[in-house]
Chain A
Amino acid sequence: MNGAPGGHVIVRGRAIERTFAAVAASTLGVAPGDVSVKIADERGVLRVDIRSRCARSAESVVEIAGRTREAVLTEGALLTGSQIGTVRVRITDLIEPKGRKLS
């Protein structure tokens, strides 16, 4: 009626979660399938909860988790075009880079 072009593009929640999982996996040094991501609404922006194992490296786990958080906040937001409010990263296991658990 107002001459606006029809149709709309919607990025589904599942796609956003998989994108964030891939971004987090690259920083954590694990496969994307090892990363569990849940998104929720936080007053109009996204709250991202990440649970994952982490591959051992020269950095501390806290540093890796911090980098993961930053990567999701920047790259994740860039890739999905979304605004992210909070990112929580929870490391559940520490593994060897090949994938074997340390303990």
Chain B
Amino acid sequence: MNTRQQRVFARRMIHRSRSTAVVVTLSVVALVAAWAGVEEVLRMLGPTGLALSPQSVVAAVVASPALAALTAAALAVVGLVLVVIAVTPGRRGRRVLADDRALIIADDAVLAGAISRSAATAARVPPGQTRTALGRRRADVSVVPLSGYPVSAEAVDAAVDATLRAASPTGGTAARVRIDTRGRIPA
């Protein structure tokens, strides 16, 4: 990944867009502003305003303590959600794979599948007997051995490390391999 354009593109692919939240929030703000503006203009033009003016809504809310509390709570929740959306990185479970010539972005599920396959090969078990939970910085690999055929944890460790290194030479993801004590009879 060389150019700035690729870095920007990768960032957009890896992180969730905030445009939906922004569009919804700004639309609500615009509607409220338009409502208040129309009411103000109508008041300036004549004695009659809108049937439901912002002032009457605020007055109704303030008059009822329960309604005021409910409105405050709802606004607090909405505000909290917006703050969380704004502050959190919003990762999408994708990562950039190492390649000199192209920008390759893979879902974590794809890398987890590759890790499971290499672990299965190293453990000499069918692919269905390995499972990988891939986090941002950690890969938890569990292997169910075949009964009577012990699995070398070192070999699985090495295979998983090699897969992670091939995907991302700079590292950053640590692997933890767990071999089940109970085996499975090959059907």
Name A residues whose Cβ lies closer than 8 Å to a Cβ of B: 1-13, 16, 39-46, 80-84
* Tally of B interface residues using CB under 8 Å: 27
Which residues on B sit within 8 Å (CB–CB) of A11?
186
Q: Which residue of A lies closest to B117 (CB)?
A: A1
Determine whether the beta carbon of A8 is less than 8 Å from that of B121: yes
Q: Which residue of B lies closest to A2 (CB)?
A: B162
Known: A2-B118, A2-B163, A83-B150. A44 touches B181 (CB 8 A): yes
Determine whether the beta carbon of B121 is less than 8 Å from that of A41: no
Name B residues whose Cβ lies closer than 8 Å to a Cβ of A: 114, 118, 120-122, 124-126, 145-150, 159, 162-163, 166-167, 180-187
**Sample of 12 A–B contacts (CB below 8 Å):** A1-B163, A4-B118, A4-B162, A6-B121, A12-B186, A40-B147, A41-B184, A44-B182, A45-B148, A82-B149, A83-B150, A84-B148
Chain A proximity of B151: nearest CB distance (Å):
8
Which residues on B sit within 8 Å (CB–CB) of A40?
147, 185
Q: Which residue of B lies closest to A9 (CB)?
A: B124
Determine whether the beta carbon of A13 is less than 8 Å from that of B185: yes
Chain A proximity of B147: nearest CB distance (Å):
4
Determine whether the beta carbon of B167 is less than 8 Å from that of A39: no
Which residues on A sit within 8 Å (CB–CB) of B120?
8
Determine whether the beta carbon of A8 is less than 8 Å from that of B124: yes
**3 cross-chain pairs, A with B, having the tightest CB-CB distances, nearest first:** A82-B148, A2-B162, A46-B148
Determine whether the beta carbon of A4 is less than 8 Å from that of B121: yes
Q: Which residue of A lies closest to B147 (CB)?
A: A41
Determine whether the beta carbon of B163 is less than 8 Å from that of A41: no
Known: A1-B167, A2-B118, A2-B162. A8 touches B125 (CB 8 A): yes
- In angstroms, Cα B182 to Cα A10, docked, is 17
- In angstroms, Cα B125 to Cα A18, docked, is 21
Determine whether the beta carbon of B126 is less than 8 Å from that of A45: no
Determine whether the beta carbon of A83 is less than 8 Å from that of B148: yes
Chain B proximity of A3: nearest CB distance (Å):
8
Determine whether the beta carbon of B118 is less than 8 Å from that of A45: no
Determine whether the beta carbon of A43 is less than 8 Å from that of B118: no
Further pairs besides A1-B163, A4-B122, A44-B183: 13, Cβ < 8 Å: A1-B162, A2-B159, A8-B121, A8-B125, A10-B186, A12-B186, A39-B148, A41-B147, A42-B147, A44-B147, A44-B148, A44-B150, A84-B148
Partner of B183, one of A8, A45, A81: A45
Q: Which residue of B lies closest to A4 (CB)?
A: B121
- In angstroms, Cα B148 to Cα A44, docked, is 6
